[in-house]
Amino acid sequence: MDSHEINKHAGGLLSALLVTMGLGIFADVLFHIEKPAKPGYELAGAAEPVAVAAVADAGEPLPVLMAKADAKRGEGYAKACATCHSFDKGGAVKVGPPLYGVVNRPVASMAGFQYSETLTKMGGQWSFENINKFIANPKGYAAGTKMGYAGEKDPQHRADIEAYLRSMSDSPAPLPN
């Protein structure tokens, strides 16, 4: 076998390798294209854990969660808030400001409570949307807030808490849509 022949063989081997790698990548591409094509709601048997996780990550929009929220359940979850907040009409300042009627109330507006600079400067009103973001991750949403609460990670629990907050008002705000 002269060197020319060796080169030919080496070349052949190399192309075979490249083709194999190419096929591998192609298979990868096929696999990845296929996954999202599987409808995420086809949960029967849960044979596609990847697709299910993707759906859970995307999450349901707040109006959908609020539509099936339950104020009574929310009252239970809000026990975690009640160490620091009063929900009653005319309730007093505790560690945090009283929350009766907080939905659609201007941010940082309770007289007699010393708000952080962060909330004082935030402006706007507490909507279902921004309360949802705030209580999911207080320091992530409002860096520098005095609210020493880790956050409620479950979106449905947050919606339930908001249904409870909504009910604790003279005129409950319309549900978000």
Interface residue list for ligand HEC (CB under 6 A): 78, 80-81, 83-85, 95-97, 99, 102, 107-110, 115-116, 118-119, 126, 131, 135, 145-149, 152, 161
Whichever of 69 and 161 has its CB closer to ligand HEC, that residue is 161
Nearest to ligand HEC of 38, 146 (CB atom): 146
Least Å from the CB of residue 65 to ligand HEC: 15
User: From CA 109, how far away is CA 15, in angstroms rounded?
Assistant: 72
Cα–Cα distance measured from residue 76 to residue 50, given in angstroms and rounded to the nearest whole number: 33
Burial class of 152 by CB neighbour count within 10 A (0 to 12, 13 to 18, 19+) = buried
Contact between 170 and 87 (Cβ < 8 Å): no
Residue 48 burial by Cβ neighbours in a 10 Å radius (0-12, 13-18, 19+): middle
Q: How far is the CB of 153 from ligand HEC (least distance, A)?
A: 11
Tell me the closest approach of the beta carbon of residue 69 to ligand HEC, in angstroms: 13
State in angstroms the smallest separation of the CB of 171 from ligand HEC: 18
C-beta of 62 vs 161, nearer to ligand HEC:
161
